[in-house]
Chain A
Amino acid sequence: MMIMCREATKLMSLSLDRNLTRRERLALRVHTMMCRPCRRCQAQFELLHRLGEQPPTTDDDPNATP
């Protein structure tokens, strides 16, 4: 099953919310192997998925407005 970038981003997003089927996983893997922009996109989605892990980085100055 060949997929294009749009479908690949859909599967990347989905993989963060539920388990992909074997077929979906393979299709995504084959696509990202060939496509650097999609590998970047995947890394960025994963970064967004980590946002809740830690508080934001802010100025240490308590009077600073965020």
Chain B
Amino acid sequence: MTTATSSSHEPAINAHIAALRPKLVAFARLQLRDGAAAEDAVQDTLVIALEKHATFEGRSAFETWVFGILKNKILERLRQQKRYANWHAFDDQSDDDAFDTLLQGSLFQPNGRWQAAARPQAWGEPDQLLENQGFWRVLDACLIALPDNIARVFTLREFMGFSTEEICKEVGVTETNCWVILHRARLRLRNCIEKGWLDSP
């Protein structure tokens, strides 16, 4: 890593950034679902962070700001990698329905009740879960297992905080379709997380 500054605080800042880096990479990886792309986004972010760090007083303000930059870098890459061709899959209603039937069949009985094996279990305290490294590892694996289109809509909604209306414009699907996709993404993720969680030692 090269630094463009010669501030006397430099060692402290370097240590701070080094400590922050794994979190940044993990965050980018969850959304880009690609280790190399995540590293690139973080590199771009750190270059800006090193150039501008002197203007920040508090450590937490600095971290929030760095995460803000990273979100923009991730969004740039999501836009580049979105392989628009894939989005046409959403227009193909028969593909959609076949997939939906498969997913829903494994989760729900024909009468609409949960399948016994898919019935949600208790996960414990949400705040503790969010601080548990194992939870994030399972989440990472489960996001990677999602189909691209579904993962992208989920990321824009839950990590980037886009409204479903904004997602429509961003990826060119109807809002109704967006709600359907998010429902599937959430069902699949919660199911995957639970399986990964219970299977892990």
Residues of chain A touching chain B, judged by Cβ–Cβ distance below 8 Å, are 3-7, 9-10, 13-14, 16-18, 37-38, 40-41, 43-52, 54-62, 64, 66
Contacts and interface: CB of A to CB of B under 8 A. Distances in A.
A13 B186 contact: yes
Given A40-B123, A45-B190, A48-B158, A57 B112 contact: no
A18 B67 CA distance: 27
Nearest to A61: B22
Contact of B108 (A6, A44, A58): A6
B183 A13 contact: yes
A58 B158 contact: no
A58 B190 CA distance: 21
Ranked 5 nearest A-B pairs via Cβ: A4-B112, A13-B183, A40-B120, A66-B26, A56-B136
A26 B196 CA distance: 33
Contacts, number: 115
Contacts of A50: 126, 130
Interface residues of B, number: 52
18 contacts: A4-B112, A5-B113, A5-B114, A9-B183, A10-B183, A13-B187, A17-B179, A41-B120, A44-B193, A45-B186, A50-B126, A51-B139, A51-B158, A55-B27, A55-B63, A56-B139, A62-B18, A64-B22
**Most chain B CB within a 10 A radius of its CB, from A17, A37, A59:** A17
Contacts of B29: 66
A44 B129 CA distance: 11
B104 A60 contact: no
Contact of A44 (B25, B113, B190): B190
B77 interface: no
Interface string B167-201: 00000000000110011001101100110000000
B159 A48 contact: no
A7 B108 CA distance: 10
Contact of A47 (B129, B133, B178): B129
Nearest to B134: A57
Contact of B132 (A6, A43, A48, A57): A57
